[in-house]
Amino acid sequence: MAATTDFVAAQKENRRNTLLLLVALTALAALVGYLVGWILETEGSDTMPAVSTLGIGAAGLLAAVSVVWSLISLAVGDRMVLAMAGAKQIEKEDAPQLYNVVEEMAIASGVPMPRVMVLETDALNAFATGNRVGGGTIAVTRGLLNTLSRDELQGVVAHEMAHLANLDTRYMVIVGVTVGLIALVCDMSLRTLNWGSTQRRSDSKGSSGGGILIIVLLVVAILAPLAAKAVQMAVSRQREYLADATSVQFTRSPNGLISALGKLGEKAAPFPGVSRATQHLFIVNPIHEFTSKTPALLATHPDIQDRISRLRNLGGRD
Amino acid sequence: MSFWIVLGILAAIGVWLIAVYNGLVGARNQGQTAWSQIDVQLKRRHDLIPNLVQVVKDAMGYEQETLTKVIQARNSAVAASGNPAQAGPAEAALTTATRGLFALMENYPQLKANENVMQLQEELTTTENKIAFSRQFYNDSVNAYNTRRQSFPAVLAAASLGFGPMDLFSMPETEREVPKVALR
């Protein structure tokens, strides 16, 4: 990993990486859709067209479905996440310092003031959710409020505000939907292939071209969901790095977040109300124990030590 | 034929002017919004300081000189408000004065136990932070605006469309730090 020396360069690099990953994911979805359409088109006839119109149609249909699905998820996902986590909205009197720190970061980022919520658990964690730049929510756990100093709290809130400013919830919803859709289509085509190949065996005029295509589809259908999942997790990690870099833009000092991440790494613990569906939202992964190592390729969050060393590169102490 | 070419060029210039104009308006508005945010926070600080002085006055009877200095700095900051160029130094002087007060307050343990004082301290801390952050956001916005209006080709049209340069809000660099307060 090249050492980046300022938050602007770090942000640029993270944005470019996200874009590359999104392009890869879209290409994967298009490939799956095209293959399925191609197979369907060769199914009825002996010829194997080089360019399949049905394939293009299927890829288009897949894109349309994912747009609609994303829009629905974006409309209802926000409230579901908050209800699942059991977060309660607070006013300034309930936790003046937290409220003040969120106001400070709203000013520093130029993002409209989000709602502030508290999760009643001793675990140290925080998350942000919101699909537009305005109208977001920042939630922190009670344990975090009781443990962190003002500067550390500011670093954590800056990280969450960065997620809102960078529209990360929206990114992850769209990526999640695309990944889900790829898995669904691959699963469906595997089932159909199973059924189709038994049909074809009893049917003597199956074309050899179709046979090769079927093997290709079989391989793609097995590998594509795994690849999509890996891309999704890579996007999630890039957005974490980006939020860390953006938090330095807001506070102009990485020290608060560095020392907060140190404490979170020690004391983050699983707590009720989080699930695999929402784990990527948190500042540190709320499900995995930090002693057990998740395979790096499938982790929602980068390693905490790695995040800390990158933050040090952005001008932290030591 | 040449008529259409001329018309096409004129239309292109028109579209370009609209784009330059709208871009500059957006950037200038962001800067102005950021300035109004600083203004709000500065006023809030001006309101908070007399309250704090009032609360600590009895306990800190022997520090009249410091208290008077804080109030004087506050009053000249109020007088300078509204103008980025003049407000900067006045607000910087006020920050120095309040920091002196905060340092002295550490010698009075009874103040640390006072809920009221603690609250005022948190409010002053957050207000100082908000001033620093809104100044940062204001200056970033002004830089973006000034860069935009000085860049080619917008520089050809910016001045004649009435987009002048905007002033940065500068306070001495050390003043950005939050006062060290031992009462948290």
pLDDT digits (tens, 9 = 90+) for A224-273: 888 888 888 888 888 899 899 889 988 988 999 999 998 888 776 666 66
Cβ contact B182:B125 at 8 Å: no
Q: What is the mean pLDDT of residues B164-180?
A: 61
Beta bridge partners of A115: A137
SS3 (DSSP) at A206: coil
B82 in the Ramachandran plot: left (φ > 0), alpha (ψ -120 to 50) or beta?
Answer: left
Distance of alpha carbon A265 from alpha carbon A290, whole angstroms: 7
Q: Say if A6 is an interface residue toward chain B (CB within 8 Å).
A: no
For residue B141, list chain A residues with Cβ-Cβ distance below 8 A: 110
B55 class by beta-carbon count within 10 Å (0-12 exposed, 13-18 middle, 19+ buried): middle
Q: Match 């050492």 to its residue by tokens.
A: A3
DSSP B114: -
A277 Rama sector, left if φ>0, alpha if ψ -120 to 50, beta otherwise = alpha
Largest interatomic CA distance in chain B: 89
As a whole number of angstroms, the distance between CA A160 and CA A153 comes to 11
Mean pLDDT comparison of A96-105, B66-75, B106-115, highest-scoring range: A96-105
> How much is the pLDDT for A37?
81
Q: Which residues contact A239 (CB under 8 A, 6 or more apart)?
A: A14, A18, A163, A166, A168, A171, A172
Mutation pick from B36, B128, B129, B136 vs chain A, by most beta carbons of A within 10 Å, is B129
In angstroms, the separation between the Cα of residue A101 and the nearest Cα of chain B is: 7
pLDDT band, very low/low/confident/very high, at A318 (cuts 50, 70, 90): very low
Q: What is the per-residue pLDDT for B35?
A: 79
pLDDT in tens, B2-61: 889 999 999 998 888 888 888 888 888 888 887 787 888 888 888 888 888 888 887 777
* Residues A167-217 pLDDT 10s: 887 778 878 888 888 888 888 888 877 665 555 544 444 455 567 777 888
In angstroms, rounded to a whole number, what is the distance separating the alpha carbons of residues A233 and A227? 10
Nearest residue in A to B123, CA atom: A100
In a domain, B107, yes or no: yes
ipTM of model over 0.85: no
> For B60-67, what is the mean pLDDT?
78
Nearest by CB: A97 against B37, B122, B130: B122
Residue A68, SS3 per DSSP: helix
Which residues in chain B are closer than 8 Å to A149, comparing Cβ atoms? 184
Q: Nearest-5° angle of CA A161, CA A165, CA A168?
A: 95
The answer to whether residue B141 scores a pLDDT higher than 90 is no
Q: Is residue A318 domain-resident?
A: no
pLDDT at residue A22, rounded to an integer: 80
Q: Among A11, A94, A107, which would you mutate to test the B interface (most chain B Cβ atoms within 10 Å of its Cβ)?
A: A107
Provide the shortest C-alpha distance from residue B129 to chain A (in Å): 7
- Helix, strand, coil tally for chain A in percent (to 5): 70, 5, 25
Q: Provide the chain A residues 244-263 that lie in CB contact (below 8 A) with chain B.
A: 250, 252
Does a structural domain hold residue B181? no
- Decide if B51 is inside a domain: yes
What pLDDT does residue B55 have? 82
Catalytic residues of A: 160
Q: Are B123 and B98 in contact (CB under 8 A)?
A: no
Whether residue B76 is contained in a domain is answered as yes
Contact B122 A96 (CB under 8 A): yes
In angstroms, the Cα distances linking A77 to A107, A173, A174, A255 are 27, 8, 11, 33
Host domain of residue A224 = 7-313
Out of A60-64, A70-74, A238-242, A291-295, which region has the weakest mean confidence (pLDDT)?
A: A291-295
Query: Which residue in B has a C-alpha nearest to residue A100's C-alpha?
Result: B126
Query: Which distant-in-sequence residues (6+ apart) come within 8 Å of A214 by Cβ?
Result: A39, A193, A196, A197
Reading across the β-sheet that carries A88-89, which strands appear in turn? Answer: A88-89, A115-119, A137-141, A126-129
* Strand, helix or coil for residue A253: coil
The verdict on residue B184 lying in a domain is no
Range of the domain at B104: 2-176
Quote the number of domains for chain B. 1
What is the average per-residue pLDDT within B93-103? 85
Best A94, A98, A104 residue to mutate vs chain B (most B CBs within 10 Å): A104
> Could you say which of A101, A149, A252 has the minimum Cβ distance to residue B136?
A252
DSSP B154-169: HHHHHTTTT-------
- Are the beta carbons of A113 and A102 closer than 8 angstroms? yes
Mean pLDDT of B71-75: 90
**Chain A closest CA to B11's CA: distance in Å?**
35
User: Residue A62: inside a domain, yes or no?
Assistant: yes
Listed by number, the residues of chain A in 109-128 with a beta carbon closer than 8 Å to a beta carbon of chain B are 109-110
Q: Is A40 helix (H, G, I), strand (E, B) or coil?
A: helix
Query: Tens digit of pLDDT for each residue in A128-146?
Result: 888 766 778 999 999 999 9
Residue type, A103: E
Q: Which of A103, A108, A150 sits opposite B136 (nearest CB)?
A: A108
Whether omega before A286 lies within 30 degrees of 0, making that bond cis, reads no
Rounded to an integer, the average pLDDT of B69-91 is: 83
Cα(A62)–Cα(A268) distance, rounded to whole angstroms? 39
Number of domains composing chain A: 1
Coil, helix or strand at residue A159: helix
Read off the pTM.
Answer: 0.78
Residue in chain A closest to B122 (alpha carbons) equals: A97
Of residues B133, B141, B184, nearest to A107 (C-beta): B133
Closest-approach residue (CA) in chain B for A111:
B137
- Look at A103 and B126 and tell me if their CB atoms are within 8 Å: yes
The CATH number for B97's domain is 1.20.1440.20
Q: Which residue from A minimizes the CA distance to B135?
A: A108
Q: What is the pLDDT of residues A162-179, one digit of tens each?
A: 998 888 877 788 788 888
The answer to the question of residue A100 being in a domain is: yes
Name, of A47-61, A115-129, B17-31, the range with top average pLDDT.
Answer: A115-129
